[in-house]
C-alpha cells in the first residue's frame, strides 16, 4: 500500500491560498489528542460515528439522501453495528473544504468519534485524509469520486463505498463503441477535476474499444448558464451521439437546453449517471426522457435486496432512494462486518478488518467487493422512462463489473 503524503502546495490548491493557513494550523498533533474515543479495548462496547454530510449549500439534497440511507440501515439493525450500540454525530460538511475539513476535525476532536462516514466534495475528502491519518481513525467516503482518494494519494485509513469518477464514465465506453455510432461521440464535461477525470476515463475506454471521438468541450464550471455555443459545436461536429458529465443545476440546464436546441431527437444523449440522478430528474421533466446514463445503481434494479430496500425507504421517507442513499447504507453494512471482527476501534484495526470483508452480497446495488479501497461493482446502462412527475431510470443493460480506472 502506497505511503500517503499531502504537501502544503496540494492543500493550498484544495482550499485556496487565502483559506489554507487556519486549516493547516488546525491539523497539528492535537488531532489525535491521545484519546481512543469509545472503549476500543472492549469488543462489544459502543461505537461513535461522525456522519459528515452537507446539511446546507448546493449539496444539501445529497446529504439528505445519505443520512436517510444511514438511518434506515440502523433502524433495521437495532441501532447496532457489529454488535455495538451506535451513537451518530451529524456534522455539516457544507459545500467546500473550507467548511468540510473543519467539520471532520470537530467530530474527531470535540466529539471523539471512532469512525467518520460521508463527504460529498472530493477536495474535502482529500483535505480530510491527513487529518484522519494523523488521528489514526477510519474514514469511509460515501460519495466523493476523485481518483486520488483511493489512488495516488491513498492512505490505509480512507476507504470508499461509492465510486471513482472515471470508473462510472469508462463503463459506457465499450457499450457505445459496440453501437457503431456514425460520426463518433462528442465528449463534454465542465472544466474542473471531476470533469477532467470523466473525459479522460470515457475517452480511453471508448477509443480502446474502437470508438472515435468527434470533438470535446469543457464549459466553465459553475458559471455557464447558456450552453448554446457548445451545442452548436456538437451539431457542427457531425457526432452521432454525445457523452457528458453534469450534476445538480448544471445537469438540469444542459439536458433542458439540449432538447430545446433540437438535438435530443437526432443525437442521442449519454452521460455519467449523476446527470439524471435524484432531484435533478424531476426538474428536467420531459427533456430527460430517453437520456441514457451509466451508474452502479437505480431503484429499478430487480434483486431481492433492492426490492426490500426500496420498499423500506419509500415507507420511511415517502421518497425514492438514490445512489447516495445506497453508498451510505453500504457504509453501515461494511462497518458492520468490519466491527464484528476487528480487534479494536482504531483505524489500523478497522482498516485491516475492511480489507478482509470479501463480497458484499446483500447490497441493493448487487454484489460488490473492495478493490484497492474502492468498490469493484457492476455498472448499469440506465434509460430515463416515464412521464414528468413520474420519471425513473430503467435498467437497459448490464455493463459488467468495473474496478477503479
At the topology level of CATH, where does 167-295+379-402 sit? Rossmann fold (3.40.50)
What is d(CA 108, CA 32) in angstroms, rounded to the nearest whole number? 8
Grade residue 58 by pLDDT with cuts at 50, 70 and 90. Answer: confident
- Mean pLDDT, the chain, as a whole number? 90
Give burial (CB, 10 Å; 0-12/13-18/19+) of 261.
Answer: middle
DSSP state, residue 365? T
β-strands 390-402, 374-387: how paired? Answer: antiparallel
Question: Alpha-carbon dihedral of residues 325, 395, 359, 328, nearest 10 degrees?
Answer: -10
In CATH, the architecture of 8-163+305-372 is: 3-Layer(aba) Sandwich (3.40)
Give the cell for residue 128: 480530510
What number of H helices and E strands is found in the chain? Answer: 14, 14
Give the cell for residue 195: 470533469
- What is the SS3 assignment for 292? strand
Give the cell for residue 285: 421533466
Specify whether the CB–CB gap between 86 and 38 falls below 8 A: no
Q: Which of 146, 197, 217, 204 is nearest to 172 (CA)?
A: 204
Q: Which residues contact 337 (CB under 8 A, 6 or more apart)?
A: 82, 353, 354, 357, 360
pLDDT confidence of residue 42: 58
What is d(CA 154, CA 7) in angstroms, rounded to the nearest whole number? 13
Write out pLDDT tens, residues 111-147: 999 999 999 999 999 999 999 999 999 999 999 999 9
Grade residue 44 by pLDDT with cuts at 50, 70 and 90. Answer: confident
Write out pLDDT tens, residues 254-285: 999 999 999 999 999 999 999 999 999 999 99
Please say if the pLDDT value at position 8 is more than 90.
no
Please say if the pLDDT value at position 10 is more than 50.
no
Where does the chain hold its CATH 3.40.50.2300 domain(s)? 8-163+305-372, 167-295+379-402
What is d(CA 273, CA 285) in angstroms, rounded to the nearest whole number? 16
pTM (predicted TM-score): 0.89
- What is the SS3 assignment for 44? coil
Grade residue 28 by pLDDT with cuts at 50, 70 and 90. Answer: very low
pLDDT confidence of residue 399: 98
Amino acid at each position: 500500500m502506497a505511503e500517503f503524503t499531502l504537501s502544503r502546495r496540494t492543500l493550498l490548491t484544495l482550499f485556496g491560498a487565502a483559506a489554507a493557513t487556519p486549516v493547516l494550523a488546525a491539523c497539528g498533533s492535537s488531532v489525535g489528542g491521545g484519546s481512543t474515543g469509545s472503549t476500543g479495548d472492549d469488543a462489544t462496547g459502543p461505537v461513535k460515528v461522525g456522519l459528515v454530510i452537507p446539511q446546507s449549500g448546493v449539496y444539501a439534497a445529497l446529504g439528505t439522501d445519505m443520512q436517510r440511507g444511514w438511518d434506515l440501515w440502523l433502524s433495521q439493525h437495532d441501532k447496532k453495528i457489529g454488535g455495538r450500540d451506535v451513537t451518530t454525530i451529524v456534522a455539516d460538511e457544507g459545500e467546500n473544504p473550507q467548511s468540510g475539513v473543519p467539520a471532520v476535525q470537530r467530530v474527531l476532536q470535540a466529539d471523539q468519534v471512532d469512525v467518520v462516514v460521508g463527504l460529498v466534495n472530493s477536495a474535502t475528502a482529500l483535505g480530510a485524509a491527513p487529518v484522519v491519518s494523523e488521528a489514526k481513525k477510519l474514514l469511509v467516503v460515501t460519495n466523493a469520486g476523485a481518483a486520488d482518494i483511493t489512488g495516488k494519494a491513498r492512505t490505509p485509513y480512507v476507504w470508499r463505498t461509492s465510486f471513482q469518477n472515471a470508473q462510472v464514465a469508462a463503463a459506457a465506453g465499450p457499450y457505445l463503441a459496440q453501437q457503431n455510432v456514425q460520426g463518433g461521440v462528442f465528449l463534454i464535461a465542465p472544466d474542473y477535476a471531476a470533469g477532467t477525470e470523466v473525459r479522460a476515463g470515457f475517452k480511453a475506454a471508448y477509443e480502446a474499444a474502437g470508438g472515435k471521438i468527434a470533438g470535446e468541450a469543457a464549459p466553465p464550471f459553475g458559471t455557464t448558464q447558456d450552453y448554446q455555443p457548445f451545442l452548436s459545436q456538437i451539431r457542427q461536429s457531425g457526432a452521432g451521439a454525445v457523452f457528458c458529465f453534469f450534476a445538480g443545476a448544471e445537469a438540469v440546464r444542459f439536458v433542458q437546453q439540449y432538447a430545446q436546441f433540437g438535438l435530443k431527437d437526432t443525437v442521442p444523449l449519454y452521460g455519467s449517471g449523476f446527470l439524471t440522478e435524484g432531484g435533478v430528474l424531476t426538474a428536467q421533466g420531459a427533456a430527460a426522457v430517453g437520456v441514457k446514463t451509466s451508474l452502479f445503481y437505480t431503484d429499478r434494479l430487480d434483486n431481492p435486496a433492492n426490492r426490500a430496500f426500496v420498499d423500506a425507504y419509500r415507507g420511511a421517507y415517502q421518497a425514492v432512494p438514490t445512489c447516495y442513499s445506497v453508498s451510505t447504507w453500504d457504509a453501515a453494512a461494511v462497518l458492520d462486518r468490519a466491527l464484528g471482527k476487528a480487534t479494536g476501534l482504531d483505524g489500523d484495526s478497522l482498516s485491516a478488518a475492511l480489507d478482509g470483508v470479501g463480497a458484499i452480497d446483500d447490497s441493493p446495488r448487487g454484489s460488490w467487493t473492495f478493490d484497492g479501497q474502492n468498490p469493484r461493482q457492476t455498472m448499469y446502462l440506465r434509460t430515463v422512462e416515464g412521464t414528468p412527475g413520474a420519471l425513473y431510470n430503467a435498467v437497459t443493460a448490464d455493463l459488467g463489473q468495473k474496478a477503479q480506472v
